[in-house]
Chain A
Amino acid sequence: MKTLVVYLMAMPDTPALAQVAVEAGADIIEIGFPFSDPLADGPVIRRAGERALAAGMRTKQCLEVLAETRARVSVPLIPMTYASIYDAYGWERLVTDARAAGATSFIVPDLPADVHPELRRVQLVAPTSTDARLTLAANATDGWLYLVTVTGTTGARTELAPSLAPLAERARAVTDVPLYAGFGISTPEQARAAAELVDGIAVGSRAVEAAEAGPAELAQFVSSLRGALDALAFA
């Protein structure tokens, strides 16, 4: 079975949407805590973050959303946010409070593996990562390694990036942890193609758009990804 990771921006309706996503086949939910200047994100998630901030989704409210989500689902929940949020709230304090609210691990997209190593988190590697950095990230990572498929920011692409295959091969050579690929995966076809190379996939921008269109749209989208991954398992 391939793992399906779905990203949702923290909003008041996120707990209900997360439940919908899990019922439709998501194995892990990432919850984005919005940041005003999200360097790793393309336009869809940047705009979702702007709307979340306008709706008052600050760190405290995001932690409440996390706790409410935890009350509804039992899958791993992973807050994804930027270093500035941790710096302001306090690095240890945010980890403690998020764990108390049900967080399983963390993703900090602007924190290279050698910065704040005491924060145990899912590490990201990219096509540009050297083998030395792949090893560093794989040794430090918490549970699985996040392979950024593209040299670029989050957001849908028309095709699966050709850079994923060599990255997956290089990562596999240095670690046995599960490899999940994300950034630029938005369709069942891409999900299936990526999952042939790795152990799971993460979908962000397109999931955020589906969630904004409502629970039915999100359920349908997540089901389509689940179907593509499961078809692969039985192929």
Chain B
Amino acid sequence: MTQTFGVYGGRYVPETLIPALDELESAWASLRDDDSFHAELHHLLTTYAGRPTPLTRVERFAPDQRMYLKREDLMHTGAHKINNALGQAVIAQRLGKKRIIAETGAGQHGVATATVCARFGLECIVYMGSEDMRRQAPNVERMGLLGAEVRPVDFGTRTLKEATSEAIRDWIANVDTTYYLIGSCVGPAPYPEIVRELQRVIGRESREQILQIEGRLPETVVACVGGGSNAIGMFYDFVPDEDVRLIGVEAAGAASLGTGRAGVLHGARSSLLADEDGQIMDAHSISAGLDYPGVGPEHAYLRDTGRAQYVPCTDDEALAAFHRLCETEGIVPALESSHALARALDCGDDLVLVCLSGRGDKDLAEVLAR
């Protein structure tokens, strides 16, 4: 039975893809409880990608709080995206697929995918909006160095939304040979669950680490939300800890959860920026990784049940947090993660855990141009 999250999730895709999704679901059902799969993934994450990542206390950034950053920015390729890319590359190999396609917004998922494809000797094609290619030029060059082909998507918003649509169209045309390595907890089932399970390592490590350091759970856990993969990975192991507040931070101009409505995009029902006719609207964010009108269906479910709260952050607030972390801690955060930092500072709680989902090297041109 196809997984849903309350009234969200499901499979809204052309029939052509259903057998491939069934195949993936069946493979995943056996792999998720397969010790050899987890052992292989653990080995890759620890010897290749840099797990576990530390927690860093940021006393100068947040002098009035006990704030800890989960340092996913220290992962190989500079963001949490490698957790998912490695896991799905192992799945693709078990399925015998040699051609990998992916979409990317900020380029972090594209770089992570290009990286694992180089590591495993797989063909890699990354779809990227031409506006995002302009904003994130260093990542485009990195993907090229890693042997991936970056295909510009030059219509519509020229950002992640269209890149995702084009990746899905490629998959429809090449489904027999191709594995679609989706970058966030979005898309048709079983992708949202697979991505969550591959990103859960963030929250699992963080929970153990904060208990070890502080002897108690945090009052609040904060993560930025575009598609929502770092947030769902960070939140998931804290969901049963009812006293821990979970706060997802959206770009104010891309608040799919804060201002969106239920709708269908990219194969799943979720909360979306859409008009009253169901037409998807444009999102706006300084951060390419948050510039997406949809969000993972499980976040819509966590919002509706009240277990997590989702709050907005403006471009200017994110930029201020970006500069503050650079100047007070010597850490250059991704603009995406800077949204979480801004709301963590004013959340009003003392013991706060923030997912620093990526580093900001890719954003220097965008920030310096301001």
Residues of A in contact with B (beta carbons under 8 Å apart)? 35-37, 39-40, 42, 46-47, 50, 53, 58-60, 82-89, 109-113, 115, 123-130, 133, 137, 148, 150-153
Please give, as numbers and ranges, the residues of chain B lying within 8 Å of A85 by CB-CB distance.
277-278
A215 to B161, CA, bound (A): 35
Please give, as numbers and ranges, the residues of chain A lying within 8 Å of B320 by CB-CB distance.
none
Please give, as numbers and ranges, the residues of chain A lying within 8 Å of B280 by CB-CB distance.
36-37, 84
Q: Are A128 and B264 in contact (CB under 8 A)?
A: no
Q: Are A35 and B278 in contact (CB under 8 A)?
A: yes
Please give, as numbers and ranges, the residues of chain A lying within 8 Å of B48 by CB-CB distance.
none
Binding-face segment, B14-22, B37-45, B199-207, B226-234:
B14-22
A50 to B175, CA, bound (A): 26
Please give, as numbers and ranges, the residues of chain A lying within 8 Å of B269 by CB-CB distance.
83, 87
Q: Considering only CB atoms, which chain A residue lies closest to B20 in the complex?
A: A128
Please give, as numbers and ranges, the residues of chain B lying within 8 Å of A82 by CB-CB distance.
264
A83 to B278, CA, bound (A): 9
Instruction: Using A137-B15, A151-B176 as known contacts, say yes or no to A87 and B277 having CB atoms under 8 A apart.
Output: no
Q: Are B12 and A110 in contact (CB under 8 A)?
A: yes
Please give, as numbers and ranges, the residues of chain B lying within 8 Å of A58 by CB-CB distance.
277, 279
Q: Are A39 and B266 in contact (CB under 8 A)?
A: yes
A40 to B12, CA, bound (A): 11
Q: Are A84 and B15 in contact (CB under 8 A)?
A: no
Query: Contact check: which of B12, B16, B278, B279 meets A111 at CB < 8 Å?
Result: B12
Please give, as numbers and ranges, the residues of chain B lying within 8 Å of A111 by CB-CB distance.
12
Please give, as numbers and ranges, the residues of chain A lying within 8 Å of B14 by CB-CB distance.
39-40, 109-110, 112, 124, 126, 148
Q: Are B175 and A46 in contact (CB under 8 A)?
A: no
A150 to B168, CA, bound (A): 15
B34 interface residue, CB < 8 Å from A?
no
What are some 8 contacts across the A-B interface (CB < 8 A)? Answer: A37-B165, A50-B155, A82-B264, A83-B264, A84-B279, A89-B278, A137-B15, A151-B16
Closest CB-CB distance, A205 to chain B, in whole Å?
14
Query: Contact check: which of B10, B15, B169, B262 meets A124 at CB < 8 Å?
Result: B15
Please give, as numbers and ranges, the residues of chain A lying within 8 Å of B351 by CB-CB distance.
none
Q: Considering only CB atoms, which chain B residue lies closest to A148 in the complex?
A: B16
Q: Considering only CB atoms, which chain A residue lies closest to B173 in the complex?
A: A152
Please give, as numbers and ranges, the residues of chain B lying within 8 Å of A128 by CB-CB distance.
15-20, 175-176
Quick one: which of B1-52 are within 8 Å of A by CB? Answer: 10-20
Q: Considering only CB atoms, which chain A residue lies closest to B294 in the complex?
A: A37
A46 to B17, CA, bound (A): 19
Q: Are A129 and B12 in contact (CB under 8 A)?
A: no
Q: Are A88 and B266 in contact (CB under 8 A)?
A: no
Please give, as numbers and ranges, the residues of chain A lying within 8 Å of B266 by CB-CB distance.
37, 39
Q: Are A36 and B264 in contact (CB under 8 A)?
A: no
Q: Are A40 and B172 in contact (CB under 8 A)?
A: yes
Instruction: Using A115-B10, A128-B175 as known contacts, say yes or no to A84 and B278 having CB atoms under 8 A apart.
Output: yes
Q: Are B265 and A153 in contact (CB under 8 A)?
A: no
Q: Are A129 and B276 in contact (CB under 8 A)?
A: no
Quick one: which of B152-166 are within 8 Å of A by CB? Answer: 155-156, 161, 165
Q: Which 9 A-B pairs have the closest CB atoms?
A: A88-B278, A152-B173, A126-B16, A84-B278, A84-B264, A83-B264, A58-B277, A36-B280, A40-B14
Instruction: Using A84-B274, A112-B18 as known contacts, say yes or no to A39 and B13 having CB atoms under 8 A apart.
Output: yes
Please give, as numbers and ranges, the residues of chain B lying within 8 Å of A148 by CB-CB distance.
14-16
Closest CB-CB distance, A64 to chain B, in whole Å?
14
User: Chain B 165-194 against A: per-residue CB contact (8 Å), 1 yes, 0 no?
Assistant: 100110011111000000000000000000
Please give, as numbers and ranges, the residues of chain A lying within 8 Å of B20 by CB-CB distance.
128
A59 to B265, CA, bound (A): 17
Closest CB-CB distance, A129 to chain B, in whole Å?
6
Please give, as numbers and ranges, the residues of chain B lying within 8 Å of A113 by CB-CB distance.
15
Given contact pairs A84-B263, A110-B267, A123-B15, a sample of 13 additional A-B residue pairs in the complex whose CB atoms are under 8 Å apart: A40-B14, A46-B155, A83-B269, A84-B264, A86-B278, A87-B262, A88-B263, A88-B277, A126-B16, A127-B16, A128-B16, A128-B18, A148-B16
Closest CB-CB distance, A79 to chain B, in whole Å?
14
A152 to B174, CA, bound (A): 7
Q: Are A130 and B264 in contact (CB under 8 A)?
A: no
Closest CB-CB distance, A107 to chain B, in whole Å?
11
Instruction: Using A40-B14, A88-B263 as known contacts, say yes or no to A133 and B173 having CB atoms under 8 A apart.
Output: no
Q: Are B15 and A53 in contact (CB under 8 A)?
A: no
Q: Considering only CB atoms, which chain A residue lies closest to B14 in the complex?
A: A40
